[in-house]
Amino acid sequence: MSELSRFYFSIPPITRIFVTFPLAVLILDGANLLTQEDYLFWDYSQVSQKLQLWRPITACLTPIYGYGQKLNCLFLIKSFYSNGRQVETSKFGNDAANFLWYLMITVGVILGASPFTKAFSFYSPLVSALCFTLSQMDPDSTKAFYSLVQYKAKYEPLILLGLTLILRGSYDFFYDLSGVLAGYIYLCLQNHDYGPLYDTFKTYFQRQVRQPEGRLPHTKRDTGFIPAPQWLRAAIQGVQAVISGVYATNTQVAGRSKVDNKGQSSGYNGRQFFGNSKAFPGKGNRLGSA
């Protein structure tokens, strides 16, 4: 196995999908084999009237790269890789079901905000949601902006939103703001509280507000998650079983086809390939005897 394939399969499974699909779309679009505007982006009328039910999924997997934005698309893919890999491995412990459930909840919020943000691709808001979640995992750690300005991790989503507003305008600002909001709502649902923003205002006004009954105060370091429902976990296990079965079948066929001249192969020796064939018995004479 080459170094590239080792690196590729070292990426956690859900993050790997969110990196592979947009790269494949870029390649297909470059070869003029696919028009993303016709098939991949979110369009409520196409979903409701023409039953193009795949659009909510492909809208999550496809960043905007038309009109000279392919370089920005590559930066988004890189950001999803770095943020998604850390969140999937550190926060969710490589549990694909829990991480996918997190993405489904955040996408639900982004989709609900789409009538206001006019979003037709959910990839960039998902990157913003991952950035917020990652910033809350170790909020007091120090980060640096291009090795020039140091700041605490909890301020990174605000800094990136400010840069988006300055460099790309208000449309993209609200576009990514929906992703930060989605990550914030997930954190509130996870901890059963009102989140860090509430605690900040409470501290600012210097008054003690009694937590509602049954709710817990916001923790400084985010280490939990919302468990995935059993139906989602069963669905993922079913898909994994199908993939494992197909892989095992292909491996078996490939192993039987790679037989060398001596009747040996990788994974299957000559005796296995030829069924019950026996080794040549010889004459039984000692070396040097007549």
The total domain count for the chain is 1
Cα R_g (the chain), whole angstroms = 26
Q: Is the pLDDT of residue 283 over 60?
A: no
Burial tier of 233 (Cβ tally within 10 Å: 0-12, 13-18, 19+) = middle
| pLDDT of 256 over the 80 cut | no
Q: How many whole angstroms separate alpha carbon 244 and alpha carbon 238?
A: 10
Percent of the chain scored above 90 by pLDDT? Answer: 35
> Tokens at residue 215, please?
């709710």
Percent of the chain with pLDDT over 70: 72
Is residue 68 in a domain? yes
pLDDT of residue 280: 41
pLDDT of residue 103: 96
Rounded Cα distance between 37 and 58, Å, is 11
Q: 6-15: buried (b, 16+ CB within 10 Å) or exposed (e) per residue?
A: eeeeebbebb
DSSP character at residue 106: H
Q: How many whole angstroms separate alpha carbon 255 and alpha carbon 117?
A: 53
Average pLDDT, rounded, for the chain: 79
User: How does pLDDT run across 31-41, given as a tens digit for each residue?
Assistant: 777 765 667 88
Average pLDDT over residues 64-69: 64
Is 6 domain-assigned?
no
Residue 263 lies in a domain: no
Q: What is the DSSP string of 227-280?
A: PPPHHHHHHHHHHHHHHHHHHHHHHHHHHHH---TTS--SSS-HHHHTSS----
pLDDT in tens, 86-144: 999 999 999 999 999 999 999 999 999 998 988 888 999 999 999 999 999 988 888 87
The answer to whether the beta carbons of residues 226 and 102 sit under 8 Å apart is yes
User: Which of these, 206, 128, 139, lies nearest to 172 by C-alpha position?
Assistant: 128
Burial of 216 (0-12, 13-18, 19+ CB in 10 A): exposed
**149 φ, ψ to 5°?**
-120, 130
Q: Distance between CA 100 and CA 36 in Å, rounded? A: 24
* Residue-range definition of the domain harbouring residue 66: 11-252
Mean pLDDT, range 261-286, rounded to an integer? 42
Candidate from 20-29, 68-77, 245-254 with smallest mean pLDDT: 245-254
CB-CB contact of 192 with 163 (8 Å): no
Q: Output the pLDDT for position 18.
A: 95
Q: Is residue 284 part of a domain?
A: no
Confidence (pLDDT) at 267: 43
Q: Does the residue 90 lie in any domain? A: yes
pLDDT at 147 over 80: no
Give the mean model confidence (pLDDT) for residues 233-257.
Answer: 74
Output the pLDDT for position 140.
83
At 66 the pLDDT is 58
The verdict on residue 3 lying in a domain is: no
Give a yes or no: residue 163 inside a domain: yes
Mean per-residue pLDDT for 205-227?
Answer: 58
149 has which bridge partners?
A: 145
Residue 266 has pLDDT above 60, yes or no: no
Question: 205-211 — which CB contacts under 8 Å span 24+ positions?
Answer: none
The model's confidence at residue 165, banded by pLDDT at 50, 70 and 90, is very high
Q: How confident is the model at residue 239 (pLDDT cuts 50, 70, 90)?
A: confident
3-state secondary structure 226-237: CCCCHHHHHHHH
CATH of the domain at 18: 1.20.1540.10
- Decide: 60 and 84 in contact? Cβ < 8 Å: no
Q: What is the DSSP string of 70-98?
A: HHHHHHHHHHHHHHHHHIIIIISTT-HHH
> 127-141, 191-205, 276-290: which range is least confident on average?
276-290
Q: Looking at the domain assignment, is residue 95 inside a domain?
A: yes
Q: Is the pLDDT of residue 273 over 80?
A: no
